Amino acid sequence: MRKILKRSGWLGALAVGFTALLSANNANAGTYDITVDRITIDTGVFKREGIGYNKSSPGPVLRFREGENVTINVTNNLDEATSVHWHGLILPYQMDGVPDISYDGIAPGETFSYAFPVVQSGTYWFHSHSGFQEPDGAYGSIIIEPKEPDPIQYDREYIVQLTDAHPQVGAIIMENLKTPEGDMGQMQMNGDSAMSDNSMAADNMASGDMDMDMMSDIEDVEGYTPLINGKSAGQNWTGIFNPGERVRLRFINSSAMAYFDVRIPGLKMTVVAADGNAVAPVEVDEFRMSVAETYDVIVTPPADTAYTIFAESMARSAYGRGTLAPRGGMTAQVPALRKPPVLTQADMGMMNGGMMDMMGGDMQGMGQSDMPMDMPMGDMPMDMPMGDMPMGDMQMGATTTEEMSQSQMPDMNMSGSNISGDPFYAPGSGLTPVAANGGKFLSYADLRAVRPLYEDRDATREIELRLTGDMATYVWSINGKTYEEDEIIPLVYGERVRFKFVNETMMAHPMHLHGMWSILDTGAGEMNPAKHTINIAPNTTVYMETEVDASGQWAFHCHLAYHADAGMFRRVVVEGGPESG
C-alpha cells in the first residue's frame, strides 16, 4: 500500500494512522466493485457512444454509512486511462482520484482499489477526472447515511441527478470551442484579430445587424439535452409517492457546463442541505444549481395528482423534466421555457468603469456617462463602423486587466453591506434569479449551517484569486495565468486561509476545492455554510475560508469541464501536518 498521510482537524478520530483506521472494526467495512465501460447513451433525442460505470450512465448509487471504512475496486475496461474522483468527500489525497495530483490514474485493463474512512454524511457524487470522460457519461451518485439518527425526517427519498448530455463527444466540443468558426455558442471578442477572421461578423457589426447573442453568451455550449437520472424530458423519469408523505429529493448537478433553475409547480420545497451539509430549513419556490452542487429538499405532495420536476437551464435554452406521481404513467403540465436573460453592463464589467476602460474609454460618440447603467447589451447601439470601435486591446478579463486598478472593478462583497437582493448574482445583473410567479428564489444568503464544522476564528492570511479568461482563444485562467503557467498554490497545515475570488469575466464559475471544506462567507459568522463548490457570478467578489487540515496536494478548479481543461485549474500543496508511518 502507498504511504498514507493521516488527517486531523474537525474529526479527532482521524488523528490515528490511516492504515489503523482501515484495519479496525472490520465488521464496519464495505467493499464495492465498479467497472468503467463503453456504453450506448440513448436520450430519446439522440444515441451515441459514451462512458459509464457498471455499464450504465448514471452509474450505480453508492450508499455508505458515516464511520465505516470502504474499499472501492475500480476496473478499467476502456482502451484509455481513467480515474474516479469522489466529489466532496473528505479523504486522504492519494484516494482523491485526480491523475498527476493524487495518483497516476488507472491504466487500461487495470484495477485500482480506493480505500478510505467515511467521515461525513449527506448527498455527493463521483465522476471521472480524466479528459472529457465525465461529460461523456462517467458519473454517479453517493448517499452517506449519518451514524446518528438523521435529523432530517422523511418517509421516502429519491435522487434527482441532472446532466447535460450532448450529441458530440467532449473532445469535439472542446475543439469547436477553441476554433473561431466553431458553433458551440462561444463569443468572439478579442478585438481586431477575432473580428477580422470572421468577416461576416464584422460586416454585421458595422451594419448594425449583429446577432447580440454573440455578445451576451450565458452558455458556452448549446445543443445539449438535459437528463434527469439518465432520462430526457420525453422519457420522463418518475418517482412515486403517497399523498401527504414527506419526500426527500437529493438534487445533484452533474453537468459539464449547464446551470439549472429547479422548481416543482404547485409544491413548495424546503431546502435542508447544501453540498452534503445540513442547513437551517428554507422554504422556496425555486433554486439554482451551479455545476457540481448538491441540494436536498423536502416536499410534501398533498393531493392525488402528478407534479412536474422542472429543471430549466439558466440560459432558458433547454430543460429537464421528471414527474412525482402517486401512480406510474401519470403526468403533469410542463411549463414553457421563460424568456432568455440578457447580460447587462454589470455582467459585462461596465459598472464603475470596468469594461469601458478595457475598451479604451468611450465608444464612438458615446461616453460612459451617456450610457444608461441598466441597459442590456442587446439594446446597445450597433451602428458604428468597426474601425471606430476601440476593441484592439479588449480581452474578457485576461491579462490586459493587470493595468486596471482594483477600484475600477465592481466589488460585490457577499459578507458586507453590498448584499442586495440575491447575492448569487450582483445587483443589476441580467442573470439575477427571479422565481416564476413572483415566488421565493433561494439565495446563498439564506444558507445557514445547522452545526458549524469548525471553531470560528480569524483567517491567518488572504489569497486573492482573479478569475480571468480570453474568450476569443478560449483560454481560461486564474490571475491571468493558466495551470501550465502557474500551477501551485502553497498552503501551510493548520492555517486558516481566506480566499478572495474576483470574477473579471462575463461568465459564472463554480469553484471546487478538493479535500477541504469551503466555508462560504454570507455574513452569518460561525453559521456560514460549508460547501464543496461555490458559484462566483460575473463581475462579483466572493469570499470563502478554509481550515487547512488536510496534508498532501489537491486540485482546485472551475467545475465547468471545458474551463478547467482550458486552464482555470490549480494544484494546492499543503506543507506540514502529521503523517502516518
Name which of 185, 141, 137, 130 is nearest 165 in CA terms.
137
Determine the residue type at 144.
Answer: I
DSSP-derived secondary structure letter, 394: -
Rounded to a whole number, what is the distance in angstroms from the first to the last CA of the chain? 12
Q: Which domains does the chain show, CATH number per domain?
A: 12-150 (2.60.40.420), 436-575 (2.60.40.420)
Distance CA 7, CA 91 (A): 8
Record the cell numbers describing residue 234, joined without a space.
Answer: 420525453
In sign, the C-alpha dihedral spanning 154, 234, 173, 473 is negative
Distance CA 338, CA 336 (A): 6
Model pLDDT, residue 350: 59
Model pLDDT, residue 179: 87
Distance CA 37, CA 557 (A): 26
Intervals of the chain under pLDDT 50: 1-27, 183-216, 352-423, 580-581
User: What residue has cell string 486531523?
Assistant: 8
Model pLDDT, residue 351: 52
What are the backbone dihedrals phi and psi of residue 129, each rounded to the nearest 5 degrees, phi first? Answer: -115, 30
Name which of 135, 73, 95, 118 is nearest 554 in CA terms.
95
Phi-psi region of 421 (alpha: psi -120 to 50; beta: other; left: phi over 0): left
What contacts 554, CB < 8 A, 6 or more positions away? 93, 96, 98, 101, 513, 514, 515, 516, 571, 572, 574
Name which of 423, 434, 435, 158 is nearest 296 in CA terms.
158
Distance CA 419, CA 394 (A): 30
Q: Is the pTM of this model over 0.85?
A: no
Determine the residue type at 268.
Answer: K
Model pLDDT, residue 3: 26
Per-residue pLDDT reduced to its tens digit, 179-194 = 866 544 443 333 222 2
Record the cell numbers describing residue 107, joined without a space.
Answer: 491504466
Helix (H) or strand (E) holding 473: none
